[in-house]
Amino acid sequence: MTQAHPRISKAVIPAAGLGTRFLPATKATPKEMLPVVDKPAIQYVVEEAAAAGLSDVLMVTGRNKRPLEDHFDRNYELESALTKKGDAGRLAKVQESSDLATMHYVRQGDPKGLGHAVLCAAPHVGEEPFAVLLGDDLIDPRDPLLSRMVEIQEQHGGSVIALMEVDPEHIQMYGCAAAEPTADGDVVKVTGLVEKPSPAEAPSNLAIIGRYVLDPAVFGILRETEPGRGGEIQLTDALQKLAADEKVGGPVHGVVFKGRRYDTGDRGDYLRAIVRLACEREDLGPDFKTWLRSYVHEEM
């Protein structure tokens, strides 16, 4: 393995969405702050970046996203109240989120799509490869995905996207990849990409899940990418251009993820994610599962 490529240290987290699927909860609270068990969804994502060695996190935010900045900052008032009470356990919980990474923020201004949000990161990222993590996808920390993607990017250069096999009828909710096998069982070479195709048009059942390690050449392409599906500048369209011409920004590979992923982007999946994660928690799980069993038994 060569070390010709710079070590990836920056993560970009788009967080400017309006969260309309969760209204009225998201009228005055960013959707990223909705709790998954007892932590805001966005904290899992920043923890994942930090666990993969990405200590510089840029959030692309918008209006009404101030609580995100506060959550990842110190809260001296709360800390001193908990210190006075001698509540070390809760104090550690308060401090956890501000100790994770060096946080930066940029505003997207016009909500012109995921590709546009990523483009807002260009001045901060510069000429290095970088990661993008979408907040609606939670990856179980026991099934590391991002560190494997960083490893593959260091091996091959270019860009690496996370893929997951889905039921063919669900492919229309995702970006979809045409791909060829490589010598590594969990890695494919991406030959084409299409955003949210109908099952009939889909080149495969490999869906893009929200993790990307990108060559900075993507910025130049995004600047020239016309609005696509839904009238938005699509990251998938820019990646399709990278995949079609390796000379621009190197190859595009995919890591096919087989681990646990929770979708918190829609209400049903969000509830399922909370129940699954609560069941697996050492502190809450045993009691919660006992209750859940009797609830299911009585109600269903």
**Looking at the chain, how many residues does it have?**
300
| Residue 155 CA neighbour count, 13 Å, CB half | 15
Nearer to ligand G1P, 193 or 274 (CB): 193
> Which residue's entry shows tokens 């993590």?
133
Task: Compute the least distance from the CB of residue 284 to ligand G1P, in Å.
Answer: 27
Q: Are 192 and 240 in contact (CB under 8 A)?
A: yes
Query: Quick one: 71 or 196, whose CB is closer to ligand G1P?
Result: 196
Taking the least distance from each CB to ligand G1P, the nearer of 44 and 97 is 44
Nearer to ligand G1P among residue 33 and residue 134 (C-beta): 134
3 state SS of 180? strand
Q: Which amino acid is at 76?
A: Y
* Residue 138 Cβ vs ligand G1P, minimum distance, rounded to whole Å: 11
Other Cβ atoms within 10 Å of 33 Cβ, number: 19
**Nearest approach, Cβ of residue 85 and ligand G1P (Å):** 41
164: nearest Cα among 137, 192, 199: 137
* Closer CB to ligand G1P, 82 or 265, in the complex: 265
C-alpha 262/C-alpha 271 separation (Å) is 10
Q: Are strands 56-61 and 102-107 parallel, antiparallel or unpaired?
A: parallel
CB 68 within 8 A of CB 15: yes
Q: Which is nearer to ligand G1P, 82 or 149 (CB)?
A: 149
In the complex, what is the shortest distance from the CB of residue 298 to ligand G1P, in angstroms, rounded to a whole number?
Answer: 36
22, 31, 47, 78, 195 from 19: Cα distances, Å: 6, 5, 22, 28, 20
Nearest residue relative to ligand G1P (C-beta): 175
Q: Which is nearer to ligand G1P, 48 or 195 (CB)?
A: 195
CB of 56 to ligand G1P, least distance (A): 23
Q: How far is the CB of 265 from ligand G1P (least distance, A)?
A: 6
List of residues 6+ apart from 54 with CB closer than 8 A: 8, 9, 10, 11, 101, 131, 146
Cβ 218 vs Cβ 239: under 8 Å: yes
Residue numbers of the site for ligand G1P (CB under 6 A)?
114, 134, 136-137, 174-175, 195, 207-210, 234-236, 265
Nearest distance from C-beta of residue 134 to ligand G1P, angstroms: 5
61 strand-pairing partners: 107
